[in-house]
Amino acid sequence: MQIQIFGCERELDESRIGADPATIREQVREYESGTRTAFDLEIAFPDDFTGSVMRAMTEISAGETRTYGAIADDLESAPIAVGQACGRNPIPVIVPCHRIVGVDSLVGYGGGLDLKRRLLEHEGAGIPGE
């Protein structure tokens, strides 16, 4: 399913979310308006490394960031592997891959760096290197 967030479209694999599309869209609208900081949706995580990274993402609160290296250390992996798993996140925004950043820069984001910056600014998170 497609969602709109800050004027951008993102694709979500709703089969991984235990809610109907109307509920998902409503929670995204609440997040965008600032009345919601966390999603209250049941997530079916993949049973692989991507799922482990996704679980780690959900532990990062709105307004906070973690580096690819910090997540890699926690998972006994490499930062590049964490970045690749972030790129495979089937439910971006809901599972906040935008909260994982480089040590001194935003680095990549499937929705584009402008959207990543906008999401982090919306949450009040600091932007690395700025």
Instruction: Give residue-wise pLDDT tens across range 28-64.
Output: 999 999 999 999 999 999 999 999 999 999 999 999 9
CATH number assigned to the domain covering 2-123: 1.10.10.10
In terms of Cα–Cα distance, which of 120, 85, 115 is closest to 101? 120
CA–CA separation, 125 and 56 (whole Å): 17
Containing H/E element for 4?
strand 2-5
pTM (2 d.p.):
0.94
Q: What is residue 55's three-state secondary structure?
A: helix
Q: Over the stretch 59-69, which tens digit does the pLDDT of each residue have?
A: 999 999 999 99
CA–CA separation, 66 and 46 (whole Å): 21
CA–CA separation, 37 and 123 (whole Å): 8
Q: Which residues are catalytic?
A: 97
From the number of C-beta atoms within 10 Å of its C-beta (0-12, 13-18, 19+), residue 40 rates as exposed
The region, left, alpha or beta by phi > 0 then psi within -120 to 50, assigned to residue 61 is beta
Residue 12 has pLDDT above 90, yes or no: yes
Contact 101, 128 (CB under 8 A): yes
